[in-house]
């Protein structure tokens, strides 16, 4: 499925951000992930749970059902499933056949995020979730703010295309966060197991007033910024400021921010988007974090609109239109290839 090769949708043996912690409560919630309905809720002890969102009896949505203790009771005929997905009660009979069960999905709560694993259960290794301390989300050197969620009206891969080509900042976000010189700065690309990174350095540039204020620094700075895609879900960016030095970005670290975009496949033509930030400054003042996050909402809206427009454009064509790739797409295309490789690795080898 475009922009991936025909027949490829998304890797399943992977961790994805499924929800903000605050979204999952004692009231069940439905969300489609990897083209499957999932019901989320919390146990009485407060633990977040994810199970299949369709009652196997009559297909009623369990995410629109109710809890009985730590189990979910189908809102139609009362079939009840425990948090492992086992059916523990069929009201009309004493015994429950073993075949009557729903999937249960490993769910890990990290920072404000719930990470889900919808692949083969025995491969669900939480150590494969990007380290939230390294990311800056759980590092005391940073104060993190989250809570922004978008139901994206387009296939999830369009959001990755967006994030892997930051040259769109100067155009899509022309009136919001575009800044001079970014397109001219040399892009350094590198990658490792499970990640892909693009960084740029801008030596001896003026410091934007909003940062100057918080960094307690007036005048010019060395600036380094970039983004790492921890495949397949999380793009973790940084924007760091240093005192100007002969060797760029080796001077005293003045501070900076980190930016987080988690993208999760929904149905074939929609997706989920979770956005957060972390900052080195004003860490005791949550209002600063909120102000930064809210200040970006107009920009995030622009990305959502572009994704919707492209999804509509693709859907309006009877035949998939041709795409032209240029050198600036190297990073984006590399990302697509890595994503395809993850999907293909899950498929059975040909006989």
Tell me which residues touch its own copies (CB under 8 A): 32, 35, 37, 54, 56-61, 64, 73-78, 90-93, 97, 99-100, 161, 165, 167-168, 170-172, 183, 267-268, 306, 309-310, 313-314, 316, 318, 321-329
Nearer to its own copies, 239 or 270 (CB): 270
What's the Rg (C-alpha) of the chain?
Answer: 22
Number of residues written out for the chain: 351
Least separation in angstroms between residue 239's CB and its own copies is: 20
Rounded to a whole number of angstroms, the minimum distance from the CB of residue 76 to its own copies is 5
- To its own copies, the closest distance from the beta carbon of 175 in angstroms equals 10
Closer CB to its own copies, 58 or 123, in the complex: 58
Residue 225 beta carbon to its own copies: minimum distance, rounded to whole angstroms: 17
CB of 286 to its own copies, least distance (A): 34
Minimum Å gap between C-beta 284 and its own copies is: 39
C-beta separation of 146 from 113 below 8 A: yes
Kindly tell me which of 32 and 260 has the beta carbon lying closer to its own copies.
Answer: 32
Q: Which is nearer to its own copies, 190 or 309 (CB)?
A: 309
Identity of the residue, 170 or 282, whose beta carbon is nearer to its own copies in the bound complex: 170
Q: Measured from the CB of residue 273, what is the shortest distance to its own copies in angstroms? A: 17
- Of residues 210 and 313, the one with the C-beta less far from its own copies: 313
Q: Which is nearer to its own copies, 49 or 306 (CB)?
A: 306
- Rounded to a whole number of angstroms, the minimum distance from the CB of residue 36 to its own copies is 9
The neighbouring-strand residues paired with 191 are 196
Q: Which is nearer to its own copies, 63 or 119 (CB)?
A: 63
Among residues 139 and 329, whose Cβ is nearest to its own copies? 329
- Written in H, E and C, the secondary structure of the chain is CCCCCCCCCCCCCCEEEEEEHHHCCCCCEEEEECCEEEEEEECCCCCEEEEECECCCCCCEHHHCEEECCEEECCCCCCEECCCCEEEEECCECCCCCCCECCEECEEEECCEEEEECCCHHHCCHHHCCCHHHHCCCCCCCEEEEEEEEEECCCHHHHHHHHCCHHHHHCCCCCCCCCCCCCCCCEEEEEECCEEEEEEEEEEEECCHHHHHHHCCCCEEEEEEEEEEECCCEEEEEEEEECCCCCCCCCCEEEEEEEEEEEEECCCCCEEEEEEEEECCCCCCHHHHHHHHHHCHHHHHHHHHHHHHHHHHHHHCCCCCCCCCCHHHHHHHHHHHHHHHHHHHHCCCCC
**Shortest Cβ 186–its own copies spacing (Å):** 12
Helix axes 330-346, 156-163, angle to 10 degrees: 140
CB-wise, 197 or 267, nearer to its own copies?
267
Q: Find the shortest distance in angstroms from Cβ 344 to its own copies.
A: 20
CB 156 within 8 A of CB 10: yes
Q: Are strands 104-105 and 87-89 parallel, antiparallel or unpaired?
A: unpaired
Contacts 24+ apart (CB under 8 A), 88-96: none
């Amino acid at each position: 499925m475009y922009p991936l090769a025909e027949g490829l949708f998304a890797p399943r043996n992977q961790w994805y951000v499924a929800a903000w912690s605050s979204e999952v409560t004692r009231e069940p919630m439905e969300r489609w992930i990897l083209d499957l309905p999932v019901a989320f809720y919390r146990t009485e002890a407060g633990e977040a749970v994810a199970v299949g969102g369709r009652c196997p009896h009559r297909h009623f949505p369990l995410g629109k059902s109710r809890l009985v203790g730590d189990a979910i009771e189908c809102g139609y005929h009362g079939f009840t499933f425990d948090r492992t997905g086992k059916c523990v009660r069929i009201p009309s009979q004493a015994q429950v056949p073993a075949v009557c069960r729903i999937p249960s999905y490993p769910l890990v709560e990290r920072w404000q995020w719930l990470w889900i694993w919808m692949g083969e259960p025995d491969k669900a290794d939480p150590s494969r979730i990007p380290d939230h301390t390294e990311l800056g989300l759980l590092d005391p050197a940073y104060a993190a703010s989250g809570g922004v969620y978008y139901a994206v009206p387009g296939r999830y891969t369009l959001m990755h295309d967006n994030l892997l080509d930051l040259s769109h900042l100067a155009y899509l976000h022309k009136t919001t966060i575009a800044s001079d010189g970014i397109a001219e700065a040399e892009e350094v690309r590198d990658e490792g197991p499970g990640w892909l990174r693009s960084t740029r350095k801008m030596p001896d540039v003026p410091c934007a007033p909003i940062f100057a204020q918080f960094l307690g620094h007036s005048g010019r700075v060395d600036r380094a910024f970039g983004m790492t895609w921890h495949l397949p879900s999380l793009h973790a960016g940084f924007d760091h400021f240093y005192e100007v030095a002969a060797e760029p970005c080796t001077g005293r670290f003045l501070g900076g921010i980190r930016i987080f975009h988690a993208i999760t496949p929904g149905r074939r033509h929609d997706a989920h988007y979770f956005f957060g930030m972390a900052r080195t400054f004003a860490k005791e003042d949550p209002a600063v974090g909120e102000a930064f996050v809210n200040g970006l909402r107009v920009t995030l809206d622009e990305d959502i609109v572009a994704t919707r427009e492209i999804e509509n454009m693709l859907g309006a064509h009877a035949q998939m239109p041709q795409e032209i790739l240029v050198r600036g797409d190297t990073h984006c295309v590399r990302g697509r290839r890595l994503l395809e490789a993850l999907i293909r690795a899950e498929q059975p080898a040909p006989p």
